A and B are shown apart, each in its own frame.
Chain A
Amino acid sequence: MENINFRDDNFSQTRVRRKDNYNKRRSDYRLTLIKTILLYGLILFITNSSSALPSKEIYKNYAQDSSKITVRKPLESKMSVLRKLKDYQYTVQESQVIDTWWKRLLRRFFNWFGSLFTGVGNPTFWKTAAYVFIASVIVYVTLKLMGVDFSGLYRKKNSNEIPYETLGENIHAIDFANAITEATTKKNYRLAVRLYYLKALKELTDHEMIDWKINKTNRSYVYELNSPTLRPDFEQITLQFEYAWYGDFPVDETQFIHIKNQFLTFSEGLSRVS
């Protein structure tokens, strides 16, 4: 109950405070109105008072000054001396220096450029702005159609350019017969296995059985090869290549002959299928 009474007291106090504030504001407004009326009244009184001043007729009875005025003029010699002084030279002398063609061109350009911005009401300004806008739109659309990427325009160019070639080794440009002979002569059987594998990939590409791409893994080609007769052999030679090349397994002459035969069997099978 006490709480409820307390709330009621608060409420009534607030109401009283609000009423007081309202009355105070009302009396302030009245006072301001009275002051304004009084001020206007004062101004009107002063104006009327000035119009009620005595006329010129009143002054004609006063004594007038009739003494002779002597006009004094400065000496001409003194004036000519002063005229020659630098401080009294008000006209700007044109430069006697001969401008170069470049300066003249620049001056003309800046004069023209400045004239464009003499005001937005200037019709030349709007005409030029319209031309610039249309030209920008044409350039933007043309570049966009050409596939130019604008995202890098406002970005800081990365100083770390890619230090490696992302272009792949072209298997169609390798002379496999010579390269394999050379590797075998040098007893670099590991390299010879690699060349045989690349040759197998080239042959599959030539027969349109796989789609050669630099990013594809060997397993991708295995999955891509649809021929059920070729796939097991290709899987086997892929395994041999992976062990020899990625696994860095040493390949001796006997092993090489065995692997070579597997590659030859695959090539024969490929020529038969196609």
Chain B
Amino acid sequence: MEFESRIDLSELHEAVTNIRAEVGKIIIGQQNTIDLLLTAIFADGHVLLEGVPGVAKTLTAKLLAKTISTNFSRIQFTPDMMPSDVLGTAVYNPKTTEFDFKKGPIFSNIVLIDEINRSPAKTQAALFEVMEERQITNSGTTYQMSFPFLVMATQNPIEQEGTYRLPEAQLDRFLFKIVIKYPTFEEEIKILQGNHERSVGQANNPVAMVQSVMSAKQLQGLREKVRLVLVEEKILEYIAKIIHETRNSKFLYLGASPRASVALLNASKALAAIRGRDFVTPEDVQELAKPVLCHRIILTPEKEMEGSTADDVIAQILQKIEVPR
């Protein structure tokens, strides 16, 4: 006997399959990263990609943006960057004798902020309003961002000189922090094969090889379906217990915010829909707990000195809480 899904998720399933296929033309492996990026797209959340140089953080983000037929802009954050370089600025127009607002590169649908931690705090702070409220206020006028609006930022965890650590308020605005690791040995060989084949075939621009497979309107419709995904009360309690435990853990100096619990809920709904279910299971919550919480919590100095990471503490918390059954 099989239960029939109450929400038609076939269109979403088709879109996910197509996006995976398009990105998979260039990106080898990184299935988990791509799944999390797709989850973020359907959950309407921003993503922080962290990884050492050369693991295709920027390329993955660019390719994923290409699969959705929307506007895309890339901002390279530098130490001398000002908020107006990102948001835009009022410019005097001699013809009209008035100041016109010249929109910055943030006015796009998918914005890739490369090396976000290279810019000082004041430029990072310029993103607070636009990331949370999808709007920019300049000289008393509020400009709404067009749909969809998604920020994909990258940062390098190794190089610390000349970088500015993202403030907690900024980190909390990212749905996920996805840590991209090195490929496996087999994946590395496939990467080399693919690169060699492309260079022989004179196809040196990998982004041009990827086609758009989803429109903004389609994405809007699919997000509406994701919102309808059912969450049983026990699952809500389970999420609340995890978040509450981060606030009571003796290993944590700072626990997760209510925004984190909402993020975990929305992301779990999106992941359930991607997996073809119209309801959330504890499995979805457990799987997303680390990428949702790892950048929102701060370890105590004692725990940090022991060499523990945020992921270790989250794993301990998950071990402690009973899965609803």
Give the interface of A toward B (CB within 8 A): 149, 151-152, 155, 158, 160-164, 166-169, 194, 197-198, 213-219, 240, 242-249, 255, 258-259, 262
List the A side residues contacting B286 at CB < 8 Å.
217
Q: Are A246 and B1 in contact (CB under 8 A)?
A: no
Q: Are A243 and B3 in contact (CB under 8 A)?
A: yes
Among A160, A215, A245, A247, point to the contact of B278 (Cβ < 8 A): A247
Given A151-B250, A245-B232, A258-B1, do A166 and B325 touch, yes or no (CB 8 Å)? no
Q: Are B230 and A151 in contact (CB under 8 A)?
A: no
Among A151, A162, A218, A248, point to the contact of B248 (Cβ < 8 A): A162
Given A218-B283, A246-B281, do A166 and B244 touch, yes or no (CB 8 Å)? no
> 15 interchain pairs (CB within 8 A)?
A151-B300, A151-B302, A158-B248, A162-B244, A166-B321, A168-B322, A197-B325, A214-B323, A215-B319, A216-B323, A217-B283, A218-B325, A245-B232, A246-B235, A248-B232
Cβ of B317 to closest chain A Cβ, rounded Å: 9
Q: Are A217 and B323 in contact (CB under 8 A)?
A: yes
CA A194 to CA B241, docked complex, whole Å: 22
Interface size class of B (residues with CB under 8 A): 20 to 34
CA A215 to CA B283, docked complex, whole Å: 10
List the A side residues contacting B281 at CB < 8 Å.
217-218, 242, 246
Q: Are B1 and A240 in contact (CB under 8 A)?
A: yes
Cβ of B273 to closest chain A Cβ, rounded Å: 13
CA A247 to CA B276, docked complex, whole Å: 12
Among A214, A216, A247, A255, point to the contact of B230 (Cβ < 8 A): A247
Other CB < 8 Å A-B pairs besides A167-B322, A215-B319, A248-B230, 14 of them? A151-B300, A155-B250, A166-B241, A166-B320, A166-B322, A168-B322, A214-B323, A217-B282, A217-B286, A246-B234, A246-B280, A247-B279, A255-B1, A258-B1
Cβ of A107 to closest chain B Cβ, rounded Å: 44
List the B side residues contacting A259 at CB < 8 Å.
1
Is B296's beta carbon under 8 Å from chain A?
no
List the B side residues contacting A243 at CB < 8 Å.
3, 279
Q: Are B323 and A215 in contact (CB under 8 A)?
A: yes
List the A side residues contacting B302 at CB < 8 Å.
151
List the A side residues contacting B230 at CB < 8 Å.
247-248
Is B245's beta carbon under 8 Å from chain A?
yes
CA A214 to CA B283, docked complex, whole Å: 13
Q: Are A215 and B244 in contact (CB under 8 A)?
A: no
Which residues of chain B in 205-248 are interfacial with respect to chain A, using CB atoms and an 8 Å cutoff? 230, 232, 234-235, 237, 241, 244-245, 247-248
CA A243 to CA B232, docked complex, whole Å: 11
Among A167, A198, A247, A249, point to the contact of B325 (Cβ < 8 A): A198
CA A236 to CA B222, docked complex, whole Å: 28
List the A side residues contacting B278 at CB < 8 Å.
247
